Amino acid sequence: MSRNYRRSRKKKATPYIIGVLILTVAAALSIRGMTLRSGDPAWAAGSRQTPSVPATPAPSVSQSPSSLIVDGIEYVRIEKPQEDVYKGNLILINKNYSYKFSDAVKLVGLYEGKSSSYKVSDTDLKIGSETLAALNRMFDAFYAQTGIGNTFIISAYRSYERQQVLYQNEVAEKGESEAAYWVAKPGTSEHHTGLAVDLGLFDSAGAYHEYDGSGKYSWINQYCYKYGFVVRYREDKKNITNIAYEPWHFRYLGIPHATQLSKLKLSLEEYIELLRSYSYDKPLKITTDDGSVYNTYFCGLQNVCVPKNGNYEISGNNVDGFIVTAKIN
């Protein structure tokens, strides 16, 4: 090979080698730059391409470590003992959810505490103190409207033992399957709660008559919700309650919930289920006949939110959580 040829080859190879070196350095710098940028949160966020999703309208909600604000109302989280789920005016008692007996129930003598507008069949009858106050208001109003004062409370609070006697007597008379349709098995009766009463009538001769809510007495069944009561076992809900129609059996829920349940014509079973669909940030709004407005909603066992400043009540549902009822107006 001649010397001139070797010189010519060196001249041609030199630019090629320099070009390769430049490309190699540029690639290295580019990779380093990408590495640095990928560690930059601002760059990373800006480089992601996500589809644009229209915003869904929602309540105005803000949150701090200890509170939440929804539409101007501040809520705080509180702890409730799990056993409290079995206490309160809204507990559901039926064949599937039995009553959990507790010494915390405040029972008072019905005979000693009643007003003069109605009577009781037994001086030993007891009832919840809040239920008694509501009964007095309701029968005072009924007497003022009709002048009738011969309505009797024939049954109120019952112990487990008393309910067992009544149930066994019914079984002996009608058989077990029919008895359960008229008398709840011990442990599954609303009368254990101190929140329920049965009505009856006695005439001037002392003869007993079954209360059916007809005639002038229909005022009680029609307007009992104004005082916090509902006719618990409606004729059109027998397939849900599994109890025969009992126009004489009244259950205390409190005015807001008695109003709403009556308005919607639901059984208590249906109403308790309905309340599960409402939360503190999307509550059920209830307006009572006197213009009072309430927010009510369901909370699970571990997450009870209540207004930080306001008038509210908490009741267990005897199933799986709590119902908060807050007066907002």
Lowest mean pLDDT among 15-19, 72-76, 96-100: 15-19
**Which positions ≥6 away from 283 have C-beta within 8 Å?**
295, 296, 297, 326
Contact 157, 197 (CB under 8 A): no
Q: What is the spatial distance between Cα 112 and Cα 26, in angstroms, rounded to a whole number?
A: 98
The mean per-residue pLDDT over the stretch 133-142 comes to 98
* Fold adopted by 101-252: Muramoyl-pentapeptide Carboxypeptidase; domain 2 (3.30.1380)
Q: Which one, of 92, 77, 108, 121, lies nearest residue 304 by Cα?
A: 77
pLDDT exceeds cutoff 80 at 316: yes
Least confident segment among 41-55, 186-200, 222-236: 41-55
What Å distances lie between residue 36 and 28, 29, 41, 49, 67, CA to CA?
12, 11, 10, 20, 40
Q: Look at residue 68 in the predicted model and tell me its pLDDT.
A: 85
Cα gap 153→124, rounded to integer Å: 12
What architecture is the 64-90+268-329 domain classified under in CATH? Answer: 2-Layer Sandwich (3.30)
Q: Which residues are marked as active site?
A: 246
pTM of the model: 0.80
pLDDT for res 41: 33
The whole-chain average pLDDT of the chain stands at 84
Q: Report whether 313 contacts 295 (CB < 8 A).
A: no
pLDDT at residue 71, as a whole number: 84
Please give the radius of gyration of the chain, using alpha carbons only, rounded to the nearest integer.
Answer: 35
Residue 63 is predicted with a pLDDT of 52
For residues 254 and 233, give the distance between their C-alpha atoms in angstroms, rounded to a whole number: 17
pLDDT at residue 160, rounded to an integer: 96
> Which region among 8-12, 49-53, 126-130, 185-189 has the lowest average model confidence (pLDDT)?
49-53
The percent of residues in the chain predicted with pLDDT above 90, rounded, is: 73
pLDDT at 27: 41
pLDDT at 177: 87
Q: What is the pLDDT of residues 12-52, one digit of tens each?
A: 444 443 343 334 434 443 434 433 333 333 333 333 333 33
Is pLDDT larger for residue 137 or for residue 13?
A: 137
Q: Write out the DSSP string of 99-168.
A: ----TTS-EEEHHHH--TTSEES-TT-EEEHHHHHHHHHHHHHHHHHH----EEEEE----HHHHHHHHH
Domain boundaries, given as residue ranges, for the chain? 3-38, 64-90+268-329, 101-252
